[in-house]
Structure 1
Amino acid sequence: MTYFLRTFDQDDSPFLALPIFPNRSFRHSALFVNVDSGIEKPQDLAGKTVGEFALWGHDPGVWMKGVLAEEYGVTPDRMRWVIGGTNHPIPAFDWIPQPVPDGIEIRRTEGDQTLSAMLEAGEIDALLSVDVPQPLIDGSTKKIRRLFVDYESVERDYYRRTGIFPMMHIVAIRRDLAQVPGLAQSVYRAFNQAKDIVQERFRAGAAKQHMAVITPWFSELFAANRALLGEDWWPYGLDANRKAVDTFLRYHHEQGLSKRLLTSEDVFVPGPAGTV
C-alpha cells in the first residue's frame, strides 16, 4: 500500500487501484520488545529506540504508528528510530521516495547489523517489523517477546471496536489501461471469483473438520473467525473496505508519507470496479 501511495506525490502518478486486497494481517503482533527495556505497555515506548523494517513507513509500520498515536497517545516523534533489515542486512531502498517529516530522529543500521540482533542485545528497545525476529521463531532467546503478549485477543478486540481488518497489499492498474472499457471490471470480477472459490472451499471443509488442512484444531479457529468476521471474512470492494482504506490514507498523511490527504476517490479506479 505505501509503495503504491507514494507514487501519488509524483506529477504523473502511473497507477490507480482496484479494491482487491490479496494480503491482510492484524499488526499488533508486529511489535516486539527487549524484555529488559522496561516496556510493559504501549505508553512505555515514549523515549525509547525502536527499529523498523526496511524504511520509515513500511505497511505494518504505518498501521501500528497510527494505532499507537490514536489509541495510546504515543506519536512517532516521541521515539528514536533505526531502519534496517530484521533478520538479514538490507540496503536502503532507492526505488521509492522516502520522505521523513521534521522532528523524527532516524538512523540506519550499518554494515552487517540486523534489527533482530540489536533487539536481542538491547541496542534497541523495541522493533516494529513485518518479519518476526528469527530467535523468537527458533525459541533460542529469552530476551525478545511481543509487546502485546496475548496479541490475538488484542487484535480481535480491535476488530470488534473498529471493524478494520488491516490490508497490506493492493492490486493496481496502469492509468491508461484503466480507461479501456470493461478491463478494470473484468480484472475485479476475476479476483472476486478466485476469492469466492477459496472461501467456499473452506466453508465446505468444515463438514469434515478441514481434514485437507494440515493444521490441527483448524476448524475451531475457522469457526471463531467466521463468527467474528462474517461470511465474507476477506472482503473486496470499496464499500466494504472504505473505513480501513481511509484510515490507512489518514495515517499515511499524518506520518509525512503523503504530501496531501488522499481520498479513496483519488486512488481507486472510478466506476463499478472501484465502488462495488
Structure 2
Amino acid sequence: MRLRTLLGDHPGTAALKNGSVKSDSVTFDFADYSPTNKGFKPMVREGAFDVSEMAIVTYLMAKSFGKPMVLLPEVVVARFQHAFGLYNAKLGMLKPSDLNHKRVGIRSFTTTTGAWLRGILANDYGVDLNSIDWVTFEDAHVAEFRDTTMRAPAGKPIIQMLLDGELDAVLGEKVEREGLKPLFPDVAAEEKAWFAKHQVLPINHMVVVSEKLAHEHPEAVREVFRLLRESAGRAPAGAPKFSTEEMRRSLELIIGYTAQQGLIPRAYAVDELFDDLTRTLR
C-alpha cells in the first residue's frame, strides 16, 4: 500500500525517510513542503495525505470541527518554548509580566508555540491575554475558526515590525538581531524552573492518519506506527522521547491551555484524542 505522507526531517524520522527503516506492506510517498507546517493546511482542509505530521493545537482545533483525522500516540517535535519570545530593547526593558495592554505579534494566533507561550504567560506570570492587542500575519489552518486579532499590513515582516516599534513583543520567533532580546531574560533558568513545576516537555508536533485509512486499513495504521517507533528508536541521544505518562501530561497541559484560550470549545480528555485502534498502540 502506497501512502501519501507529510513528514518533516527530524532526528526521530530520519531513519524512516532515508529508507533504513522500511516495510514489506506499506510504502511512503513523501510530499515536499518546506517548512513542513505549510502542509498542515491542505491536510486539515482537503485531506491531502494518508499520514501527516501535525501540530497538536491544529489537531485539537480540527477535532473540534469534526475533521476526519485520527491521532497516533507518537511525538515527532517537542521543545521548551521560552526561547521563542522577543522584544525590542531599544524601546526599553520588557518582562513577561509587563505584556498587559501591549501590542504582540505572532505568525498565526493558533500556532502551537503561541498557545504554549500564552499558557505560560497567563498561568505562570499572571498576564491578562485579553488585554493584549494581538497582531497576526496568517489565518488558522482550520478554515472554520475565526479569530478576532488585528491583521498585520500585507508584506510587512513580523521582525521588521518589532524593529520599527510597531510591535512591543513577538511570540514564536527566535532570531539574533541587534536590539532584540529574549522576553524571558534567562531562558535556560526559566525552562528548568518551569519543568520542575510542571514535569512537562511541551509537545509541538505528533502524527495523524486519515479516518478513512484508520477505518478501512487498521493493519496499515499499526504498521505506520511500528515504523515511526522504530525510526524514533534510532534517533541520536538527546532527541525527545516520551513515555506514555510523559506524553499524557504534556497533552493534558496543552489541551487545558488551548481550551482556556478559546481555540477549542472544551478541554478534551486525552483518551478522546485517539480512536479505538490508536488508543491501544504502544
TM-score range, shorter chain: 0.7 to 0.9
Distance in 2 (alpha carbons) for counterparts of 1:2 and 1:16: 14
> Displacement of 1:123 after TM fit?
1.1
1:103-137 Cα shifts (integer Å, max 9, x gaps): x6x211112211101111111100002x424xx2x
* 1:266 CA displacement: 1.5
What amino acid is the match of 1:249? I
DSSP-derived class of the 2:71 partner: strand
Deviation at 1:194, TM superposition (A): 0.9
Tell me the distance in 2 between the aligned counterparts of 1:159 and 1:68.
Answer: 15
Q: Quick check: 1:123 aligned with 2:151?
A: no
* 2:230 aligned residue: 193
Post-superposition offset of 1:95: 5.5
Distance 1:262 1:37, change over 3 A: farther
The superposition leaves residues 14-70 of structure 1 with CA deviations (integer Å, 9 ceiling, x where unpaired) of: 0110111111121111110111444432111111110011x2121110001011111
Q: Quick check: which one's helix share is greater?
A: 1
1:5 aligns with 2:41: no
How many residues are paired up? Answer: 226
Query: Is it true that 1:42 corresponds to 2:78 in the alignment?
Result: no
Q: CA distance change for structure 1 residues 29 and 154 in 2, over 3 Å: closer, same or farther?
A: same
Q: Which has the higher strand share?
A: 2
Conserved? CA contact 1:39–1:45, under 8 Å: no
> Which letter does structure 2 place at the counterpart of 1:195?
A
Q: Which runs of 5+ in 1 are unaligned?
A: 85-90, 203-221, 223-232
Candidates 132, 135, 143, aligned match of 2:174: 132
Q: 1:255 to 1:197 in 2, by over 3 A?
A: same
Q: 1:39 to 1:19 in 2, by over 3 A?
A: farther
Residue 265 of structure 1, aligned match among 271, 274, 277: 271
Aligned in 2, Cα 1:59/1:107: closer, same or farther, shift over 3 Å?
same
Match in the other structure for 2:82: 28
CA distance in 2, matches of 1:183, 1:269: 15
Q: Give the conservation status (yes or no) of the 8 Å contact 2:80–2:202.
A: yes
Match of 1:68 in 2: 121
Q: Which residue of 1 aligns with 2:194?
A: 158
1:275–1:263: structure 2 CA closer, same or farther, 3 Å change rule? farther
Q: Which amino acid aligns with 1:196?
A: G
Whether 1:243 and 2:249 are equivalent positions in the alignment is: yes
Q: How does 1:206-221 map to 2 (within 5 A)?
A: none
- One-letter code of the match for 1:60? T
Cα offset, 1:239, TM superposition:
3.0
State the TM-score, normalizing by the size of structure 2.
0.73
Amino acid at match of 1:71: D
Distance 1:251 1:274, change over 3 A: farther
Aligned counterparts of 2:271 and 2:146: Cα–Cα separation in 1: 23
1:62–1:251: 8 Å Cα contact kept in structure 2?
A: yes
Contact 1:32 1:128 in 2 (8 A): yes
Question: Which residue is 1:176 aligned to?
Answer: 212
Letter in 1 for 2:196: R
Q: What TM-score results when the alignment is normalised by the length of structure 1?
A: 0.74
Q: Is the 8 A contact 1:19 1:236 kept in 2?
A: no
Question: For 1:144, which of 180, 200, 209 is the aligned residue?
Answer: 180
Q: Which runs of 4+ in 1 moved over 6 A?
A: none
Q: CA deviation at 1:161?
A: 2.3
Q: Residue type of the partner of 2:156?
A: Q
1:139-183 CA deviation, whole Å, 9 max, x = no partner?
4x2x21111132122112222221111111110012232233433
Structure 2 spans left out of the alignment, 5+ residues: 1-55
- CA–CA separation in structure 1 for the residues paired with 2:242 and 2:223: 14
Equivalent pair of 2:70/2:211 in contact (CA under 8 Å) = yes
Alpha-carbon distance in structure 2 between the residues aligned to 1:241 and 1:95: 24
User: What percent of counterpart residues are identical?
Assistant: 23
